[in-house]
Amino acid sequence: MATTRWFIVAGLASVPSLVGCGAVFPRYTTATRSVPADMVQQRSIAPPPDDVRTVSVLSAELPPSRTDGQPWDSDGEPDLYAVVLRDGVEVYRTPVIQNSLRPEWRNAAVTLRIRPDSVLRFELWDADGVVDQPVGAEHVTGVPSSALDGGNWVIRYQRNAFLRLAARPPEPRFGMGVTFEVHGDNLQVLAVEEGGPGAAAGLRVGDRIVALDRRRVQDLGEIESHQAMDRASLRPVVLAVERDGSPPATLTVAPGAVYSAR
């Protein structure tokens, strides 16, 4: 997963320590690298959490006309795309496949946390210029047991329209699995991937990393601190971490599997 960076403007009301001024903090997610195939095959790395699956939208099929007998489009066949929602929130949208009753998607996949009680809604839409037209919508609770490891998973709509899916365990990546902001003399932890090396080492949201491999963040600066965090995908990284006003504790993050999921 490529390193990402963006900026947040902290509002005066939400950050009391910044009264009288605004502040901009660089934000990063630690880099990852691929895991050698032999390690995956030998299962010598930690498995993904049970509730994480990569869901792929494979194909769809529609009848030749709408329920009222009218053609899908005045200029040809429908321009279809699928939308995936989890517990009422959109988590993925496929590209549009134009002029096809039987579209097929390549690499239309998203890795999600799906609990047994998560409600997944699958919508089919016809991209129709100004106003897109709904084709069908159905929901399921959790991932069907028959589809957990790549088995058949078909969502059926009215008039024999259907959407074909697949679910499989996610591919692992080596990394730390941490999102953080750079705050001058510390890195503030914003998110920690569940089951990842950062979490396994004991990092928590809200922790303040003040040193990496025995070098202070304030001496390293933004770029070197970022690079030091990324090195966890290659070798162990030693962190000095402040939490709740306590003296810094030492945590060592060793390379391990990260399963990033929405």
Q: What does the pLDDT read at residue 72?
A: 83
Q: How far apart (Å, rounded) are the C-alpha atoms in residues 200 and 194?
A: 9
Q: Where are the domains of the chain?
A: 5-38+173-258, 52-168
Q: How far apart (Å, rounded) are the C-alpha atoms in residues 144 and 69?
A: 33
Angle at 94 between CA 93 and CA 100, to 5 degrees: 135
Q: What does the pLDDT read at residue 12?
A: 30
Q: 73: which strand partners? A: 76
Q: How far apart (Å, rounded) are the C-alpha atoms in residues 145 and 151?
A: 9
* Tens-digit pLDDT string for the chain (262 aa): 444 444 333 333 333 444 445 578 999 999 999 988 888 777 778 888 889 999 999 999 999 888 888 888 877 799 999 999 999 999 999 999 999 999 999 999 999 999 999 999 999 999 987 889 999 999 999 999 888 877 889 999 988 899 999 999 999 999 999 999 999 999 999 999 988 999 999 999 999 999 999 999 999 999 999 999 999 999 999 999 999 988 999 999 998 999 989 9
18, two tokens: 């910044």
- Cβ atoms of residues 176 and 239 within 8 Å: no
Q: What does the pLDDT read at residue 176?
A: 95
CATH topology (fold) of 5-38+173-258? Pdz3 Domain (2.30.42)
Give me the CATH code for the 52-168 domain, please.
2.60.40.150
Q: What does the pLDDT read at residue 191?
A: 96
**Can you count the helices (H) and strands (E) in the chain?**
3, 19
Q: Which helix (H) or strand (E) holds 241?
A: strand 237-242
Q: What is the pTM of this model?
A: 0.78
Q: How far apart (Å, rounded) are the C-alpha atoms in residues 92 and 144?
A: 19
